[in-house]
Structure 1
Amino acid sequence: MPALRRLGAVVLLLALAGPAAAAEDSPRTFTIAAAGDILIHRMVAQQAAVYAGGDGYDFYPMLAPTEPWIAEADLAICHLEGTLSATNTGLSYYPLFVAPYQIADAIAAVGYDACSLASNHAMDGGESGLIQTIEQLEARGIAHQGTARSEEERLPGLYRVKGVTVGHLDYTYSLNGLPRPHRYSVNVIDREAILADARWAREHGAEFVILSIHWGEENHHPPTAQQAALAADLMASPDIDLILGSHAHVVQPIGWVNGKVVVYGMGNHLSNQNQIWGPSYWSTEDGLMVYLTVTEQPDGTFATTRVQYTATWVEMGSYRVLPIDWALAAGEGDRHLMTASRQRTLANVTMLGTEGLEATTATWPPLLCRGRPATIVGTAGPDVLVGTPGDDVIAGRGGNDLILG
């Protein structure tokens, strides 16, 4: 897991020093993982209470199947919709989302380093809920963007990832009519404001800038005209390198705009939206995890050089988020429903073309050895974790772990 921190005085040093020189031996490189909307509906919370055995809520079993994918990345970014309650009082679900704070435990446990928080549900718990959400993430070492307690905190995040300074911005199209107590409380989409923030990040040392954005039309796979136009405007800027989209609750395509990657929408990662809700929700159980490789170029800039993705499916009832190809191979979940979900996702993600896109069928290819992966995940307590004769992903989860390859 990378040690992420918000840069303070270091930023000034980086700005004065100018761009870091390219390594003499090999270009610097890092990986990014991201996934779709985490939206805690009542049924999801009720199942988390079951997993906790009557003592609070445990969301980890829902996200656990994705841990080998998320934990492997150098920078993993989640998208959390709604707000959290630090005391689990005043919980509410649709249409106002105030979720148990233990979802933050699960987000941290599977390996997320940062979360985008700007969404149309960012003010569902009022200013108090917004602050509690930030505090719960910070208590678990998770960076956050899109909502803020001050103007200074509203500025783009700057993370150190394998020696590279990465900027992170986050904006939403709307707050569902709820009041924003301060302009800095939630970033609402404004083209000039986004470009100004991206420029600020670049001027303060960011070598690669990510924009998370909550946009588009719900349950609509093709990017809207507004999405396409805004993507073209933003990607014309030299200060934005990658767009990670959310909100549609269905998988939207991945495309290249001005030579840079736009992930228009990653669908739902965890929610209770499903086919039973009606025809427009037919594919809301589908999701996407993306895994991007970013590499330093000869001129010292950074570019996305590899785009991989894995289809996921939310198993209703258990609410496990299942990487479909892994689940099919392991005999987990409903084979018929997952196969149909996978077909939908692959069709939607490649809607704008397949060039440069790689569908992964197991844990990320760098973790494979002759097609034979093994995943070994520890518990929250002390463990002895021993690898197999092949290549392994071994992840401790807490306690004092002895890990042997």
Structure 2
Amino acid sequence: MKLIAVGDVVVARRPALPLDGDLGPGTTALPLLRDADLVIGNLEAPLVDSGYPAEKPVAFRVGTAAAAEVARLGFDACSLATNQALDYGIDGLRSTMKALDGVAVAHAGAGEDLDEALRETRLTGRNNAEIAFLSLCSALPPGFNATSHRPGIAPVRIEQSYEFDGVLLEEQPGTVPYVCTRAREADLARAHQAVRRAKERFGTVVVAVHWGVPWCYLPDNQGPLAEYQQPLGRSLIDAGADLVIGHHPHCLHPVERYRDGLILYSTGNFLFHSCEEVGEPDRRPPARYKQRMSDRPWFESAVFEIDLGEGPPELRLHPVELDADGEPTVPSPATGHAILRRVEELSRDLNPSTRVGADGRVRFG
């Protein structure tokens, strides 16, 4: 099965770029979604026509009519366990699921209670092969997680602590502390159980995880991954996942083969229209962070082509560049080369034998 995975998707209107055409520098990259058995994206904004925003720094909203555009683009399924999913509360989450159901786009990661949010979704590819799809969230605003008595999204909450070197702070005051993070054991156990249950029912399991830190918030001395991410991703593979698809940082992060599984730590942005955006003024991030969100990492991304068959998944990257409207285009050869080299360099920090060829094919040694 050929699966196409992309990062964050916010479709606020009909895209200006055509869905078909020849792939050349400066042209639409949307045809990349056409040549696949399954296409999975991360829905980054709830689909809701009215309501009240949550009390948080930024709340997104796109009208329910956008669901038809998500389907028209070619998406078969979307992950819903994100830090924006309940930006308009439980009613907004229900509206999102109903809108996607109305256009036959499957979804995972949300439900009327925790059991439903953790339940796998069956996806049938155009080659009739079936996979199980789950969605989890570690970038979790308070109250967004589903419980046994409350609708919400599937959580893997993260516990945090901070390490300070007192001697270093005396000499270098203002130094950023090291942030220690690990997944909460109870959430991890439930996630593993959900993956194992899906593995028993289906031969192939794909898990989307909303995790990590956007580059504009990440201290340079910490590296691209938070401490909890690699152990969490690997543990999902150990539980039976064949593919882990990460998103939330809005930029590309490493890729890793672990045992017979594949971990994509961040798939970046794919199509990100401007949408209704509100928030509490005193909770807004500083202006310098918002400015950094317009840096190149936001616009340079990739379409991830994964071959799920016998043996470990095979991976090929197709570089894309978002235009001024937030829509994906084929980058210039120089930009495309730079995107592939960046992924290789990041990935070699995890496994020095990783190579990304000029054609985007990834070899793990």
Q: TM-score, normalised by structure 1?
A: 0.65
Amino acid in structure 2 at the alignment position of 1:157: T
Task: Indicate if the aligned counterparts of 2:123 and 2:132 stay in contact, CA closer than 8 A.
Answer: yes
Q: What SS class does the counterpart of residue 166 from structure 1 fall into?
A: strand
CA distance in structure 2 between the partners assigned to 1:258 and 1:230 by the alignment? 14
Question: Of residues 152, 156, 168 in structure 2, which corresponds to 1:185?
Answer: 152
Over 3 Å counting, the alpha-carbon distance change for 1:245 and 1:102 in structure 2 is same
The answer to whether structure 1 residue 210 and structure 2 residue 210 are counterparts is: no
Q: Is the 8 A contact 1:146 1:170 kept in 2?
A: yes
Counterpart of 1:159, as a letter, is: L
Native 8 Å contact 1:67 1:111 kept in 2: no
- Residue 266 of structure 2 aligns with an amino acid whose one-letter code is G
The answer (yes or no) to whether the contact 2:30–2:329 under 8 Å persists in 1 is no
Q: Secondary structure at the match of 1:222?
A: coil
Say whether the 8 Å CA contact 1:307–1:357 is kept in structure 2: no
Amino acid of the structure 2 residue aligned with 1:166: I
* Distance in 2 of aligned mates of 1:345 and 1:179: 35
Aligned equivalents of 1:260 and 1:63: distance in 2? 34
Shift of 1:357: 4.3
Task: Confirm or deny: 8 A CA contact 1:314 1:321 kept in the other structure.
Answer: yes
Q: How does 1:252-401 map to 2 (within 5 A)?
A: 252-271=253-272, 277-279=290-292, 281-282=294-295, 283-296=297-310, 303-304=312-313, 306-316=314-324, 318-324=325-331, 328=332, 339-340=334-335, 343-344=338-339, 346-353=341-348, 355=354, 357-358=356-357, 360=359
Structure 1 distance, partners of 2:209, 2:96, is 19
Matched residues in 2 for 1:277 and 1:258: separation? 38
Q: Aligned partners of 1:107, 1:277: CA distance in 2, in Å?
A: 27
State the 1:118 CA deviation.
0.6
Q: What is the rounded CA distance, in whole Å, between the counterparts of 2:75 and 2:273 in structure 1? A: 21
SS in structure 2 of the partner of residue 32 of structure 1: strand
Q: What is the total number of aligned residue pairs between the two structures?
A: 293
**Equivalent residue for 2:184?**
none
Aligned pairs (5 A) from 1:6-405: 30-39=1-10, 45=12, 58-61=13-16, 64=19, 65-85=28-48, 88-90=49-51, 95-150=58-113, 153-154=116-117, 155-161=119-125, 162-180=127-145, 182-183=147-148, 185-189=152-156, 190-203=187-200, 205-219=201-215, 222-237=224-239, 239-271=240-272, 277-279=290-292, 281-282=294-295, 283-296=297-310, 303-304=312-313, 306-316=314-324, 318-324=325-331, 328=332, 339-340=334-335, 343-344=338-339, 346-353=341-348, 355=354, 357-358=356-357, 360=359
Is 1:164–1:207's contact at 8 Å kept on the other side of the alignment? no
- TM-superposition CA deviations, 1:22-72 (whole Å, max 9, x none): xxxxxxxx11001111246xxxx5xxxxxxxxxxxx333258333321121
Aligned match of 2:180: none
1:66 and 1:92 map into 2 onto residues whose CA distance is 33
Residue 111 of structure 2 aligns to a residue whose secondary structure is coil
Query: Aligned-pair RMSD on alpha carbons?
Result: 2.9
TM-score by length of 2: 0.72
Q: Aligned equivalents of 1:177 and 1:308: distance in 2? A: 37
Identity, in percent, stands at 21
SS of 1:290's equivalent in the other structure is: strand
Q: What one-letter code is carried by the residue in structure 1 that aligns with 2:2?
A: T
Q: Distance in 1 between matches of 2:203 and 2:342?
A: 33
Change (3 A) 1:63 1:124: farther
Q: Distance in 2 between matches of 1:281 and 1:66?
A: 21
Q: CA deviation at 1:107?
A: 1.6
Greater RCO structure (CA 8 Å; 6+ sep)? 2
> CA offset at residue 152 of structure 1?
6.1
| SS of 1:288 mapped into structure 2 | strand
Distance in 2 (CA, whole Å) between partners of 1:344 and 1:67 is: 18
